[in-house]
């Protein structure tokens, strides 16, 4: 199981710090957050992609995943007018182009909140149209589209393993795959391991982070309420061999370097205890 550093928490630091630290701390890859000031897709397309690729080469640290910011201002393909949806789709298509140019294996999307007045029918119609269009573009570009369920604190549209199964029933493509951020199932009393059993070969990626009931907070691995040593034992016994990004986000933005070091140290120790 390869461990990745997520760069969102480094947004007040130079982008190069992410690559330097991933190398220093023993991460296997980077999952690149696509927002300003670091890797916003229009900026990459305007020339910043060259600097990014130089960092990849300099530190011999691949960007396996690209996660463009699209759950808040100004992009959310689940809410607003049709023109706003189309604008978000065009932005994500450009993001797929940039993912290809940086050598990423996958791009991650997550259907965000659809608004309080949206019905299930409206939610699924909009989500299916959007993700079908993005999947068809991903097939042309040659980058997998990984879809992430969120917590109910973040989204009323897409929150569970069953939502992924329904999406795969509606859109059949080898370029459309799923993942599990372990916080959403934990706070909803859903089984984390059920994702792996239900999704089978469609289970492509994980976000590993600790959590607590009643909040979507992403906490340092081993310092929250999820029984993580036992989780790593279960993942080992199951035979999971995919990628797992340690998704420290804004809660650690004041000292990302200290916490990125602690996160991978904690996880490596739990993996070793589990027999990895």
85-98 mean pLDDT: 98
Q: In the numeric block, which tokens belong to residue 9?
A: 């928490």
pLDDT attached to residue 183: 96
Question: pLDDT band at 270, cuts 50/70/90?
Answer: very high
pLDDT attached to residue 72: 78
93-120 mean pLDDT: 97
Q: In the numeric block, which tokens belong to residue 259?
A: 């916490």
The Cα–Cα gap between 28 and 2 comes to: 6
pLDDT attached to residue 48: 98
43-60 mean pLDDT: 98
Averaged pLDDT of the chain? 96
Q: What is the model's pTM?
A: 0.95
Check pLDDT > 90 for residue 255.
Answer: yes
DSSP classification of residue 210: B
pLDDT attached to residue 250: 80
pLDDT attached to residue 81: 97
pLDDT attached to residue 14: 97
pLDDT attached to residue 217: 82
pLDDT attached to residue 71: 86
pLDDT attached to residue 191: 96
- Please report the domains of the chain, with CATH numbers, ordered by start residue: 1-272 (3.20.20.150)
The Cα–Cα gap between 210 and 248 comes to: 10
The Cα–Cα gap between 276 and 274 comes to: 6
176, 167 Cβ separation under 8 angstroms: yes
The Cα–Cα gap between 160 and 147 comes to: 11
The Cα–Cα gap between 21 and 30 comes to: 10
Question: pLDDT band at 251, cuts 50/70/90?
Answer: confident
Active site residues: 148, 247
Comparing 11 with 217, the larger pLDDT belongs to 11
Question: Which residue in the block uniquely carries the two structure tokens 């790593």?
Answer: 232
Distances, alpha carbon 128 to alpha carbons 60, 88, 161, 176, in Å: 37, 14, 16, 12
pLDDT in tens, 142-164: 999 999 999 999 999 999 999 99
The Cα–Cα gap between 177 and 170 comes to: 13
């Amino acid at each position: 199981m390869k461990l990745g550093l997520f760069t969102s928490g480094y947004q007040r630091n130079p982008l190069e710090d992410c690559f330097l630290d991933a190398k220093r701390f023993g991460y296997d890859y980077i999952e690149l957050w696509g927002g300003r000031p670091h890797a916003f897709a229009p900026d990459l397309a305007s020339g910043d992609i060259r600097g990014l690729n130089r960092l990849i080469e300099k530190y011999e640290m691949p960007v396996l995943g690209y996660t463009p910011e699209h759950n808040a201002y100004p992009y959310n393909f689940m809410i607003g007018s049709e023109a706003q949806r189309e604008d978000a789709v065009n932005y994500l298509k450009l993001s797929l182009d940039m993912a290809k140019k940086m050598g990423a294996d996958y791009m991650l999307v997550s259907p965000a909140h659809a608004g309080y007045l949206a019905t299930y029918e409206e939610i699924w119609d909009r989500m299916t149209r959007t993700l079908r269009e993005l999947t068809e573009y991903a097939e042309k570009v040659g980058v997998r589209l990984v879809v992430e369920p969120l917590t109910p604190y973040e989204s009323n549209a897409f929150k569970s393993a069953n939502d992924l199964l329904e999406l795969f029933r509606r859109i059949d493509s080898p370029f459309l795959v799923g993942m599990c951020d372990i916080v959403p199932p934990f706070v909803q009393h859903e089984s984390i391991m059920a994702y792996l059993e239900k999704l089978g070969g469609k289970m492509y990626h994980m976000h590993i982070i600790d959590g607590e009931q009643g909040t979507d907070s992403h906490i340092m691995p081993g310092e929250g309420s999820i029984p993580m040593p036992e989780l790593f034992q279960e993942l080992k016994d199951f035979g999971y061999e995919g990628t797992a990004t340690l998704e420290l986000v804004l809660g650690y933005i004041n000292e990302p370097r200290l916490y990125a070091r602690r996160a991978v140290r904690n996880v490596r120790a739990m993996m070793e205890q589990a027999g990895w």
